[in-house]
Structures are given as structure tokens and as C-alpha cells.
Structure 1
Amino acid sequence: MKHCFYFLLIAFQLTLLCRGVLNAQVPKSLDSLEIYVKTHPPIDTNFVRATLRLAYELFTKKAAYQRADSLLQGAETLSIKLDYGRGLSNTYTNMGSLYYLTDRPQEALALYQKSLKSAESYTLHPRIITEKTTDVALALNKLKQYDKAVETSLKVIRMEEQYNIQPRNSRTYEIIGLALKNMNKPRQAIAYFQQRLALMKQSSATPYGLAITEHNIGRCYDDLNQEKEAILHYKTALSFIHGTDYELLRSDILGNIGLALQKDKRFQEAKPYLEQSLAMAIKQGNKEAIAPGYFMMGRFYEELKDYKQAEYYMKKALAMANERGDKAIISEYTQGLADLYGGMKDFQQAYVFQLERNQRMDSTTTVRTNAEVQRMVAKYETEKKEARIKLLQQQARFNQQEAERTRFRTNALLIGAALLLLLGGAVSAWLLNRSKLRRLEEAQKLRKQIAHDLHDEVGSTLSSISMLSGHTDALLRQNQPESAQKTVQKIYTDARQILESIDEIIWTINPGNDSLHRIALRLREYAQPLMEAKGIVLHFSADSSLDDYPVSMEVRRNLYLIGKEAINNLIKYSQATQATIRFELQNDQLMVLIEDNGRGFDAAQVSQRTGQNSMKQRASAMGGTLAVQSTLGQGTRLQLIMNP
């Protein structure tokens, strides 16, 4: 289920069973735990462990969050009274897990940090310290602080190596995998999930944990649109928890199997999986899972063109999303209804929902765009101040050196020193003016470049949006909602184009991207999703030594635009199945190769749409050469050679 958070939320739960919260004196089944807690007095550590076990069973299997929270409050009080450090630390862990499951990650993070602090203050075993640190990493990942989540997970791995902790905590690899998946790097994420599977199979891993990891691998293949591979992993995950009480996880897996089958156009197979997933979520009374379940069913019936059923489920999903106040989900469900009404030819309703969705999106876009522009302006102003300070320092040093020379020459020969001082002053003034002029020219060139890019990439599109907005009002007054809907969609597309253009401009002027290696990575990030969408297998390689070669902003910009143009041509016209992008250093020269096995073209009849003249002009401006070779039916090869 794409929007159910249980894939990420429950991942941390499997190790709670392995954390030593119980011993042989405490029962294990839910019924026997209930009896134990009701009949035994709250006076010892066994009672704390039984309470923690019961709370865990209630909030992971029965979604009885309120009852579990009450039990954990009691466990906290008794642990403090008994000065029971491990019980107190585990109580805070369970509280954090409960808040995590109920979509309150900020509170979960605070409790996980409190659990870690308690474990450290009571000097618990290093294994326990690493487990508590892993919980902190999980919460950071949920809060979308992916860099901190990965950093914290790597810290855990180093601690395990330092203390030689065996077996290793495989959850760290799960968290790194989740972070990479959320950063739209599913292939890298799969490698970490597979490492976790290998570690779990070496130890006494629970079927629950194995199910979660297989499930996450399936989701990564889903992101790569490899549905058959995704379904295989989903069904493997489902087999691990067959016959258990983990209905929330089972509901998520069933929903994802249904979605994958639906994407594969196997509608009759998909329907029972989607229905079972929704029924289980309703049975549990979990609104976080019910709303996505309704939306999935709506999308399913929309594809079958059963618009009445689709409208029923999508409206129920939107109503539940409005109750929760989740802006991102509300925006998505609103767009879904707009698309549905468009398919139903009810353009008035489609326009209403599309307008509502665009208003939500525009607010977010405005804030983000303003922030990017402010950051760019602030950076530019900072660079100007630093240049002025540097110029003043240079002038001060120069004046000091001149004063010392003057005193020396005066002692030697007063008249000669006076003449030399006059000459030195004249030369100094000329050099200083020349230095100032060069810096002014560089600053002016940068300002013109930014202004030119903003005018070309943003100005014309903003003008288009302005005209289209006025045209939309006119169409509505003329009672032409279908034409108005198309105009609104064009405005949305133009707004997205502006964001992408500003992002490229900011990337180009950012001095942190002034190496050949950063350019290579940027082109790979640009090409990968486009080629995957076209079913093209990309082979990418770049010399590791490219990081040692800094380049100017102008070279960086021209090299990136040549690569981008070549990639766009490959995607649009080649009909290739294989493509190669390679950055190599050969005899102190940079060689960039972009080739494919597509249909090729007649090199003697160069089409203007390929932009070859523009690419060659950019290559020449960098002091390089660009060669394009193509043969009909045998693919195209583009090779750029330049001095880095």
C-alpha cells in the first residue's frame, strides 16, 4: 500500500522480541500475560517485564494503543521506583514504538533518545546501547532526516565493530535501505536490504522480521516498475507471516500485491487482494490504513471504468484524509478525484478539484521557490562581501610592502627613493585599477549570466502562466470548462518547468559542484529515471580521479547542457534498449562518451531538433571537440574530448 506507513513503521518492531525484556518467569501468550498482570502485585522487575510484553502484544497485533499506553505509564513508574535501569530504558523504547505506529515520529524520536540516555546512564551492555541508537536512526528516517539517519546507523555499525558484538544488528542495514529508497535510489536500497536478509539468516531471525525485509525489497522493485519481481518478494513476505496475528502487516502486503497486479493489468487477480487488504484495515479500525485502502479501490474501479464505484471510494478516502489533516495526502486524493471526473467528462467537477489541488500545490511551491531565491541572493551577497574584504586585505598588504621599500630606499639614496616611490605609486595605481576592473568584469559577467538564465528559463514561462491565467478566466466566463481544464493543466506543467529550471541554475552557480565528478553524477541522476521509464538499460561509469579536477562555472554549465541535450535526443529519438555514459581521463584529457544501440540516423541529414550545432558550439567554447557518429539501424555515438 503506497501510502500506508506500516512498511517503515513496523520495521523496528521485530527486534523487540529479542531484547531480553522477558525471562522464563514471565508467560508469553497474550491471554496468560493478561492473567499474570491482573493477578500479580506490581512489586518486582518480573511485573515490569510482563507489562512491557503485554503492551507490545496489544499495540503491534491488536492496535489497542490506548490500553498499551496506560500499561507503559505504569511500567515507567514502577521501574523508577525499583531503580530498574533496563526496564526503564525498554519502557521508553516501547512508548516510542507506540508513538511511531500512530504516526507521531517527533514524539517517538524524543522517547527513543530518552531510552538511549537511560541505557547509557545505567551503563547497560554495549549491545543494548547500539539497539537504542538504532531506534533513534529509525525515527530520524521517518522524519525525512535521511542524512542523519544514515549517519546514526553507520555509527551503530562502528560501535559493533569496536566492541565485537555478535551477531550484528541487521536493523541498521534496513534503516539505510529505507533512507535510500526514500531518496529515490531503489537499486542501492535493495543491496542493503539483501545484506540485512543475509545477516538475519545467520542468526535466529523471526519470520516477522524476514517478512518486513522481503516486503521492502518488493517495494523497491515496485518503484523500478518491475512488477513481476515485486510480486515475487511480496508473496515471499506473506508466506513468512502466514497463520500469525500480524494483521496490519498482512494488510499492507496484500494491498501492495493488488497494486502490483493492477499495474500489470491483471485486474481479476488484483481485486481479491485489494478487498482483503481494505477489510483487514477496517477490522483493525486503523484510519491510517483505511484511507489508502479506499483510495486504492477507487483507482482500481477507475481503471475498469466503473466510475460510480470509483467516485464512492475516492470520496470516502478524501473525507478520512481531511479528518486527519494530512496535507500531502489530501492533495493527492484531490488530484485523483480531478482525474476521475475528467475521465467521466464531468469537466465542471474536474475543474473544481483541479483548482483546489493546484491552490494547495501553489502555496507549497511559492514557499519553496522563495526559499531557494533567498538562499541564492544571500549566497551572492556573501560572495560579494568576501570579495571586498579580500580586495581590502590585498590593498593593505600591498601598501605595507610599499612603505617598507620606501624606507629602505630613503636610507640608501633620498632622491632616488623619491623617484622610485613616485614610479611605484604609479605602477601600484595601475595594477590596483586593473585588479579592480578584472573583478568588476567577473562580477558583471556572473550577474549577466544569472539574469540571462532567469530570463530564458523562467521569464518566458512566467509570462506564459500570466497569459494562460487570464485566458482561463475568459474560458470560464464563456462556459468552456473543458478548455479551461486543459489551460489549468498547462499552467501546472509550466510551474513544474520553472522549478526544474531554477534548480539547474542554482546547481550551476553553486561552487560546491565545481568538479568533473559532480557533473558526471548530476547527468547520471538526470538520465537514470528517464531511461528507466523508456525501458532503456543504462551503463554508467566515471573515473574516481575526476574529483581532483575543478572546473569553472562556465565550463560546468556548458558540459552539463551538452550531456543533457544528448540524453534528451537519445530518449526521444533513438528507440534504444541499451545506453552507455562514460567519463574517462585519457592522456590528461577528458573523454565523455554517450552512445546507444538504437535506430540511428543519416549523419548527412542533420535535423535541427538534435541541437548538434549548439552542442558543438558549446564544446568549442570550452576548447574541446565534439564528434557525432551514427549509422541507420546501428545506433549513435557522441564523443566529447577536452582539456579538464
Structure 2
Amino acid sequence: MKRIISSVLALSVCLTPLSVPLMVQPSWAQSQNSQVEKLKQLIEQAQQQERQGQPRQAIETWQEILAIARQFKQRRGEAIALNYIGLNYDSISQPQEALKYYNQALPITREVGERRGEASTLNNIGRVYDSIGQPQEALKYYNQALPIRREVGDRAGEATTLSNIGAVYDSISQPQEALKYYNQALPIRREVGDRRGEASTLSNIGLAYNSISQPQEALKYYNQALPITRSVGDRAQEAIILNNIGRVYDNISQPQEALKYYNQALPILQQVGDRRGEATTLNNIGLVYDNISKPQEALKYYNQALPILQQVGDRRGEATTLNNIGAVYNSISQPQEALKYYNQALPILQQVGDRRREAGTLNNIGLAYNSISQPQEALKYFNQALPIWRSVGDRKMEATTLSNIDAVNNRSQPPSRTNILQTPK
């Protein structure tokens, strides 16, 4: 008897740094001293807002810089401002807005011959496509950025793009290919003295080993990354790596050890004011409790995560948590309640263009309908999920969905839920 396997979208943190963006050198319109001084102040203000986690305010400030650059027909400055606006929209999960600004910046960087800026913008566009579940499109842009970074001798940028390419391959279940790129990035990080980047790449290598069921190898790399982040005083990265270690222990059925690391990460994230990371960790803790058959405890943590994600505007994280809540209700034989949450998640995922998670949600809805003896409705959703898995190149989930369709057609009994879909890095 074939069984139906549902998908739970487990929100988890992985370090994949942004490209080093263009730095503004405000030499525009030297005769306009007051404007130059104003630009310096605005640039400092925007960068301070970014450091303080105020991306919306930073967008407004960069818009002022953009207007001045356009007023004085300073095309380099215009491209820089557009790129920063895109970065900030990306940070608040507005990928289409980010793309809009990056795609304005890109032809300007080419027009003025700013090769570093061109590579930076190509990298940022690739990052957006990766974040919305379009890995092939992401690779297209990363692979344009990489030779430019090598051409101009931007070793730090080269390492970033190599790491980003690795992350894409990891997200499409090609961890060996991912390792190939991470292992090119790592010595460059060390060469340029980028300790944060080194820790990031070590963490990504750990993630790849975890995905190919080599948990001890994964822990080896995470445990190299952790003291580096502590030595540079990067509390946010420390929490991310603690989260990743927790995830390994969760995957190898050591839930109490997983909770130990998640519970170390949580207060750090609260201390540094990383609300999105806090919600991620709450979600991860909820997932552990869900996996050890403590559904009410799981709901307690998921329901703490959900309003935070809504508050910070993380639409993908919100949809993931709605999915997780729905999965808990399905596991405790409340499929109608589960459908309520799945049906809130689905339009969000369609709105943000996250095809992978959309397919996971369609699969979950199909499972819920099957459990209430509506096989035709179940088939409708499985058959919507199937072409999406094919389009994103996820062969494992394609096979799972085919198995689900076969199980419904053969009137198999629905089994208990199995966790098979992980959040893209």
C-alpha cells in the first residue's frame, strides 16, 4: 500500500551574505557645495538606518539621494541609490519592488562602464530570484556576475557570488555541486581576511553536508564557524549557527539537544532585535515539539512566531508558519482547521512568487482533502503541485506527489505526516 506523504515547511536560517554593495563617493557636482554636504549627510543617515534595522526609513532616505543624483544627472550616483533601494526592499520581503530598482540600476552601470557595480547588481538580482524560488533564473544572473568579479579582481565579491551559487545548488537538491562552489569560496574568504564571510561559508558547507545525511561532518563545520562568529562579536551570526546546529540535532532525532541550541539562539536574537530571526527560532522550536508529538506545545510556539512575521512583513515566513500550524491541526485530526491555515498560506506564496513553497502547500491541501474523504478534490491539488515541482527541478517532491496521486487513485489510507520539504536557503 502506497502512502501519502505531506510536506511541512520548516523555516530555518542559513547564512548566505548579500553582495558587497556599491559605496557612494559623493563627488557629484563639486560646485554645489551645499548639495554635496547634504548628500554626505543623507548617505550617512541611510547607512545608519540600515545598521539599526530600519529598512523602510532607509528607502526613504535613498529616494532623496536618488532625486538629487537625477537632478544633477549623476548616473553613477543614480545607479548606486537604485541598488541600495533594491537591497532594502529585498530585506523586507518585497522581491518584485527590489527587482524593479535593480533592473533600473543595471543598464546604468553598463552605460557608465561601472563593472564592479554591474556585478554587484547582477548578484543582487540573482539573490532575489533565488529567494522567490526561481533557481535557474538566479543562476543565470550569478553566472553573469562571477566572471566580471574575477575580471576586476574583486576577490571578496567573487567569494560572495561563489557562495550564492552554492546556495542555489543546495536549494535544488544538488549538494555536491553546492560544495564545489563553497569550497572555492572558503579559501578566498580566508585570503581576504573576511572572518564573517569565512564563518558564513563554513556554515553553508555544514548545511550541505547535513542535506546529504552526513550530520557529523555538518557539525564539524558548524563548530568551526561558531567560535569565529563569537571572536568577531557577531551575535546575529552566532544565533544563526546555533540554529543550524539545532537543526542537525533535530534531523538526527536528538530533539532535546536541538532544543538546547535553539534555546541558546532565541535570547540572542531577542537581544539584537532580530525579530525575523526570533520568529524563525520560535518556528524551529515549534517544529521540534511537533515532531515529538507535543502538538499543543508546537502550536504555542508557532502562534508566537506568526504575529512577529506579520509585523516585520515577512510574507514567506508568515506563509511557512501558517503551513506549519495547518500541519499540526491535520496531525490531530482537525483537517477543516488545517485547511483554514493552508488556504491563508497559499495566496501569500502565489503573491510573492515562491513556487517551491506554493507546491508544498498545494500538496498539504490535497492531503487534508484526502483525509476527509474528498479524493477528487485531493487530486485537483496534487495535480496543481506536480508541474510546479517539475518546473523547479525538485525530483524528490515530484516523485512524492506522483506517489500521492497513485495512493488516492488506489484508495490507500492516509498515513501519519512525514516532514520532507525544507525551506530554501
Alignment TM-score, normalising by the size of structure 2: 0.68
Structure 2 counterpart SS, 1:305: coil
1:46 and 1:176, CA in 2 relative to 1: closer, same or farther beyond 3 A?
A: same
Query: How far off its partner does 1:325 sit?
Result: 7.3
Q: In the alignment, which residue of structure 1 is the partner of 2:148?
A: 78
**Larger proportion of strand:** 1
After TM superposition, list the pairs within 5 Å mapping 1:253-292 onto structure 2: 253-282=321-350, 288-292=356-360
For residues 86 and 279 of structure 1, the distance between their equivalents in structure 2, rounded to whole angstroms, comes to 38
For residues 21 and 108 of structure 1, the distance between their equivalents in structure 2, rounded to whole angstroms, comes to 24
Q: In the alignment, which residue of structure 1 is the partner of 2:290?
A: 222
2:100 maps to 1:98: no
2:299 maps to 1:231: yes
For residues 387 and 152 of structure 2, the distance between their equivalents in structure 1, rounded to whole angstroms, comes to 48
Q: In the alignment, which residue of structure 2 is the partner of 1:16?
A: 17
Query: How far off its partner does 1:310 sit?
Result: 3.1
Query: How far off its partner does 1:213 sit?
Result: 1.9
Q: In the alignment, which residue of structure 2 is the partner of 1:50?
A: 121
2:308 maps to 1:308: no
Q: In the alignment, which residue of structure 2 is the partner of 1:110?
A: 180
Q: In the alignment, which residue of structure 2 is the partner of 1:484?
A: none
2:139 maps to 1:69: yes
Query: How far off its partner does 1:80 sit?
Result: 0.8
Structure 2 counterpart SS, 1:16: coil
Query: How far off its partner does 1:255 sit?
Result: 1.3
Query: How far off its partner does 1:142 sit?
Result: 1.7
Structure 2 counterpart SS, 1:103: coil
Q: Given that residues 8 and 327 in structure 2 are in contact (C-alpha distance below 8 angstroms), is that contact kept between their aligned partners in structure 1?
A: no
Q: In the alignment, which residue of structure 1 is the partner of 2:212?
A: 143
Task: Extract unaligned runs of 5+ from structure 2.
Answer: 24-46, 48-79, 87-97, 415-425
2:195 maps to 1:126: yes
Query: How far off its partner does 1:258 sit?
Result: 0.9
Query: How far off its partner does 1:240 sit?
Result: 2.6
Q: In the alignment, which residue of structure 2 is the partner of 1:208?
A: 276
For residues 358 and 127 of structure 2, the distance between their equivalents in structure 1, rounded to whole angstroms, comes to 22
2:320 maps to 1:252: yes
After TM superposition, list the pairs within 5 Å mapping 1:319-338 onto structure 2: 326=395, 330=399, 334=403, 338=407
Q: Given that residues 134 and 171 in structure 1 are in contact (C-alpha distance below 8 angstroms), is that contact kept between their aligned partners in structure 2?
A: no
Query: 1:471-518: per-residue Cα shift (whole Å, max 9, x none)?
Result: xxxxxxxxxxxxxxxxxxxxxxxxxxxxxxxxxxxxxxxxxxxxxxxx
Task: Extract unaligned runs of 5+ from structure 1.
Answer: 342-348, 355-644
Query: 1:581-634: per-residue Cα shift (whole Å, max 9, x none)?
Result: xxxxxxxxxxxxxxxxxxxxxxxxxxxxxxxxxxxxxxxxxxxxxxxxxxxxxx
1:219 and 1:21, CA in 2 relative to 1: closer, same or farther beyond 3 A?
A: farther
What letter is aligned with 2:128? Answer: E
Q: In the alignment, which residue of structure 2 is the partner of 1:507?
A: none
Q: In the alignment, which residue of structure 2 is the partner of 1:186?
A: 255
Query: How far off its partner does 1:244 sit?
Result: 6.0
1:262 and 1:123, CA in 2 relative to 1: closer, same or farther beyond 3 A?
A: same
Q: In the alignment, which residue of structure 2 is the partner of 1:546?
A: none
Q: Given that residues 63 and 284 in structure 1 are in contact (C-alpha distance below 8 angstroms), is that contact kept between their aligned partners in structure 2?
A: no
Query: How far off its partner does 1:178 sit?
Result: 0.9
Query: How far off its partner does 1:148 sit?
Result: 0.5
For residues 271 and 310 of structure 1, the distance between their equivalents in structure 2, rounded to whole angstroms, comes to 12
Q: Matched residues, percent identical? A: 20
User: Which of 27, 44, 50 matches 2:84?
Assistant: 27
1:291 and 1:235, CA in 2 relative to 1: closer, same or farther beyond 3 A?
A: same
Query: 1:140-170: per-residue Cα shift (whole Å, max 9, x none)?
Result: 1122211101111112224446x45443622
1:185 and 1:78, CA in 2 relative to 1: closer, same or farther beyond 3 A?
A: same
For residues 295 and 310 of structure 1, the distance between their equivalents in structure 2, rounded to whole angstroms, comes to 8
2:363 maps to 1:295: yes
For residues 322 and 27 of structure 1, the distance between their equivalents in structure 2, rounded to whole angstroms, comes to 34
Q: Given that residues 6 and 249 in structure 1 are in contact (C-alpha distance below 8 angstroms), is that contact kept between their aligned partners in structure 2?
A: no
What letter is aligned with 2:103? Answer: E
Q: Given that residues 172 and 394 in structure 2 are in contact (C-alpha distance below 8 angstroms), is that contact kept between their aligned partners in structure 1?
A: no
Query: How far off its partner does 1:38 sit?
Result: 2.1
Q: In the alignment, which residue of structure 2 is the partner of 1:467?
A: none
For residues 2 and 187 of structure 1, the distance between their equivalents in structure 2, rounded to whole angstroms, comes to 24
For residues 345 and 182 of structure 2, the distance between their equivalents in structure 1, rounded to whole angstroms, comes to 31
Q: Given that residues 133 and 355 in structure 2 are in contact (C-alpha distance below 8 angstroms), is that contact kept between their aligned partners in structure 1?
A: no
For residues 235 and 38 of structure 1, the distance between their equivalents in structure 2, rounded to whole angstroms, comes to 44
1:313 and 1:49, CA in 2 relative to 1: closer, same or farther beyond 3 A?
A: closer
Alignment TM-score, normalising by the size of structure 1: 0.47
Q: In the alignment, which residue of structure 1 is the partner of 2:11?
A: 7
Q: Given that residues 6 and 363 in structure 2 are in contact (C-alpha distance below 8 angstroms), is that contact kept between their aligned partners in structure 1?
A: no
Structure 1 counterpart SS, 2:85: coil
Q: In the alignment, which residue of structure 2 is the partner of 1:407?
A: none
After TM superposition, list the pairs within 5 Å mapping 1:116-515 onto structure 2: 116-120=186-190, 122-160=191-229, 163=231, 165-167=233-235, 169-205=238-274, 207-242=275-310, 246-282=314-350, 288-314=356-382, 326=395, 330=399, 334=403, 338=407, 349-350=410-411
Structure 1 counterpart SS, 2:119: helix
For residues 139 and 404 of structure 2, the distance between their equivalents in structure 1, rounded to whole angstroms, comes to 37
What letter is aligned with 1:272? Answer: K
1:66 and 1:204, CA in 2 relative to 1: closer, same or farther beyond 3 A?
A: same
For residues 55 and 117 of structure 1, the distance between their equivalents in structure 2, rounded to whole angstroms, comes to 23
What letter is aligned with 1:37? Answer: L
1:239 and 1:21, CA in 2 relative to 1: closer, same or farther beyond 3 A?
A: farther
1:273 and 1:125, CA in 2 relative to 1: closer, same or farther beyond 3 A?
A: same
For residues 234 and 22 of structure 1, the distance between their equivalents in structure 2, rounded to whole angstroms, comes to 38
Q: Given that residues 214 and 234 in structure 1 are in contact (C-alpha distance below 8 angstroms), is that contact kept between their aligned partners in structure 2?
A: yes
For residues 64 and 55 of structure 1, the distance between their equivalents in structure 2, rounded to whole angstroms, comes to 9
1:100 and 1:28, CA in 2 relative to 1: closer, same or farther beyond 3 A?
A: farther
For residues 32 and 308 of structure 1, the distance between their equivalents in structure 2, rounded to whole angstroms, comes to 44
Query: How far off its partner does 1:171 sit?
Result: 2.0
Report the number of matched residues: 337
Query: How far off its partner does 1:2 sit?
Result: 5.7
What letter is aligned with 2:360? Answer: P
Q: In the alignment, which residue of structure 2 is the partner of 1:422?
A: none
1:124 and 1:295, CA in 2 relative to 1: closer, same or farther beyond 3 A?
A: same
For residues 64 and 325 of structure 1, the distance between their equivalents in structure 2, rounded to whole angstroms, comes to 12
After TM superposition, list the pairs within 5 Å mapping 1:561-640 onto structure 2: none
Q: Given that residues 133 and 152 in structure 1 are in contact (C-alpha distance below 8 angstroms), is that contact kept between their aligned partners in structure 2?
A: yes
Q: Given that residues 109 and 117 in structure 2 are in contact (C-alpha distance below 8 angstroms), is that contact kept between their aligned partners in structure 1?
A: no
Q: Given that residues 166 and 182 in structure 2 are in contact (C-alpha distance below 8 angstroms), is that contact kept between their aligned partners in structure 1?
A: yes
What letter is aligned with 1:16? Answer: P
For residues 92 and 251 of structure 1, the distance between their equivalents in structure 2, rounded to whole angstroms, comes to 29
Query: How far off its partner does 1:260 sit?
Result: 1.1
